[in-house]
A and B are shown apart, each in its own frame.
Chain A
């Protein structure tokens, strides 16, 4: 069953460029790199309980190193096959990870998070000043050079480079969790001091895990740079660091593939909805807040819990749970869309905004009815969700 699912997913991923046009293949590339980035981030969090608020530093380092290597190849200084160049990005990020990780992991918890944040901000500030290395506002550009009969001119061809790196890298990250260092990292996440009384240098172990995480984050960045053929210092920005946190926690940080669900799902949704709204990040933020309030374990954990119930119980007993859950989600989605779109327009258009067209109806911004609706919806969602949670607990008790 498990292997069947893996085989189906592999075939599906291989067929993407055959089945879809360039625009969509590009979205898939972003889904893959965002997934690898989130997996790398979660290596630190899920195992070692180190929450990095500055992982853009490593993602960006991978991007810039890759672009520099591509430019060297273009200038005939360096003869490296194009598909191998992102590895250089990963190594550069790993190097940064050893240094940044060494200092950041002296601390844990809030202080660790603050140090990672500061490192990323520092590099961001450097990026805006140091034109020679980071290319200023315009950033740096390069071109993919052909190799071994491949021109890499189409998005489809580059897609296979990305896929060829992301899948093995994800597998490697999974494997790391099984090795002595990976198990040790779990132990450190549980009780770092205890580990030291068993003869381990916890700081060294944390630095190693950090460097591994940075390596894979850099690989993800490098792959994206290879695809975009351009990067500017915005890659080090807070949005990048924040989005990997949101992706991971919405997807579910406690399950290996949770971050993939979050990263791939939200990237896909964002691309699909980019024509409809310019406020995607606000939606992700709202989803994150709701998720943390009602189900902090994330989507993957919800999915697994539900799957277990489907396996153990006859389906009619699950109708109620899923109906309630579905209603709650629907109510919250409507509330969020309503509030975000209305508020955004009221704020951007100021006094001139009097009416907004949404859901096929015109809403007056000054009417109390307009604002009562989302409040009522949110309340309904809350009630439905609480009922769903109660129902789920009842069913789980019945199973156990």
Chain B
């Protein structure tokens, strides 16, 4: 039997009087690629923020592998094996692409706050950074300051940083947003490889991507879960078609 890696139990979020997430229950199962879809403003990013520790809950509880994580600091949640990427790119613009990834890799090698050697002197870290750069197709741009990378390169770096801490559970908030077809295809291939042995929750607008990549799909609208189940089932669900799939190009 597969068990829930992420378990959301009756969670809710209000921003002032605006109810963005309303009493929501959801289990993300071990090893699955789980898509979270829904129109703009449905609360998908808010949900990812709540799971990763960015946004405090108004009600409910979140469990990661059976351990309650709501209320924990983001770094604690990260160290419990959860990594994420952001819908709006959040990289370190003054550092090079390589250094951005190095920050992510360093943490896992236990040299977080070390002061005794240059950051470049750790060869195991350097090797991993090289491999990661190649993975996200930035190996030719390693030394370029991240603020000067092109938009799609920055998106690739964003994804690389989510991977850098090698999380067992990965939350990806619209990883292909704003990418060309070819770039998006590469990212989908990449997610497919890295998803092996991991649990991935992915917010995605492109239905081709969703149905080719994901095992299960959850549909969110106005902060409420309107359907959740195997991809094939969701595709046939009339309510989903009406509420969301018909409007997919609006997003």
The 0/1 profile, CB within 8 Å of A marked 1, for residues 99-118 of chain B is 11011101110011111111
A324 to B86, CA, bound (A): 47
Known: A180-B111, A198-B164, A199-B107. A193 touches B92 (CB 8 A): no
B95 interfacial contact with A, CB 8 Å: yes
Q: Is the interface of A mostly helix, strand, loop or mixed?
A: helix
Q: How many residues of A contact B (CB 8 A)?
A: 27
Q: Which residues of B are found within 8 Å of A194, using beta-carbon distances?
A: 86, 90-92, 161
B52, B95, B112: the one within 8 Å of A200 (CB): B112
Q: Which residues of B are found within 8 Å of A193, using beta-carbon distances?
A: 54, 74, 90
B94 interfacial contact with A, CB 8 Å: yes
A204 to B165, CA, bound (A): 19
A182 interfacial contact with B, CB 8 Å: yes
- Nearest opposing residue in chain B for A202, CB measure: B75
Q: Which residues of A are found within 8 Å of B74, using beta-carbon distances?
A: 193, 196-197
A184 interfacial contact with B, CB 8 Å: yes
Q: Which residues of A are found within 8 Å of B112, using beta-carbon distances?
A: 180, 184, 199-201, 205
Residues of B44-101 whose CB lies within 8 A of A: 52-54, 73-75, 78-79, 83-84, 86, 90-95, 99-100
CB distance from B85 to the nearest CB of A (A): 9
B24 interfacial contact with A, CB 8 Å: no
Q: Which residues of A are found within 8 Å of B108, using beta-carbon distances?
A: 199
Q: Which residues of B are found within 8 Å of A178, using beta-carbon distances?
A: 118-120
Most chain B beta-carbon neighbours within 10 Å: one of A176, A180, A191, A195: A180
User: Is A199 within 8 A of B78, CB to CB?
Assistant: yes
Q: Which residues of A are found within 8 Å of B90, using beta-carbon distances?
A: 191, 193-194
Q: How many residues of B contact A (CB 8 A)?
A: 39
A175 to B79, CA, bound (A): 28
Known: A193-B54, A197-B84, A201-B75. A181 touches B113 (CB 8 A): yes
A175 to B111, CA, bound (A): 16
User: Is B119 within 8 A of A198, CB to CB?
Assistant: no
User: Is B91 within 8 A of A183, CB to CB?
Assistant: no
Residues of A160-207 whose CB lies within 8 A of B: 175-176, 178-184, 186-187, 189-191, 193-202, 204-205
CB distance from B68 to the nearest CB of A (A): 19
- Nearest opposing residue in chain A for B107, CB measure: A199
The 0/1 profile, CB within 8 Å of B marked 1, for residues 208-228 of chain A is 100000000000000000000
- Nearest opposing residue in chain A for B104, CB measure: A198
Q: Which residues of B are found within 8 Å of A182, using beta-carbon distances?
A: 115, 119
Known: A197-B84, A199-B75, A199-B165. A187 touches B103 (CB 8 A): yes
Known: A178-B119, A201-B75. A190 touches B113 (CB 8 A): no
A201 to B79, CA, bound (A): 11
User: Is B120 within 8 A of A184, CB to CB?
Assistant: no
A176, A180, A183, A197: the one within 8 Å of B83 (CB): A197
Q: Which residues of B are found within 8 Å of A196, using beta-carbon distances?
A: 53, 73-75, 78
A108 to B99, CA, bound (A): 23
- Nearest opposing residue in chain A for B81, CB measure: A199
Known: A181-B113, A190-B92, A204-B113. A195 touches B119 (CB 8 A): no
User: Is B91 within 8 A of A179, CB to CB?
Assistant: no
Known: A193-B90, A196-B75, A198-B104. A187 touches B119 (CB 8 A): no
Known: A200-B107, A201-B75. A180 touches B92 (CB 8 A): no
- Nearest opposing residue in chain A for B85, CB measure: A197
Known: A194-B90, A197-B52, A198-B103. A187 touches B95 (CB 8 A): yes
Not counting A179-B116, A197-B75, a sample of 12 additional A-B residue pairs whose C-beta atoms are within 8 angstroms of each other reads A180-B106, A180-B114, A180-B115, A181-B114, A183-B95, A194-B91, A194-B92, A196-B75, A197-B84, A201-B73, A202-B75, A204-B113
Top 5 A-B pairs ranked by shortest CB distance?
Answer: A190-B92, A199-B107, A196-B74, A199-B78, A178-B118
The interface of chain A, by Cβ under 8 A from chain B, is 175-176, 178-184, 186-187, 189-191, 193-202, 204-205, 208
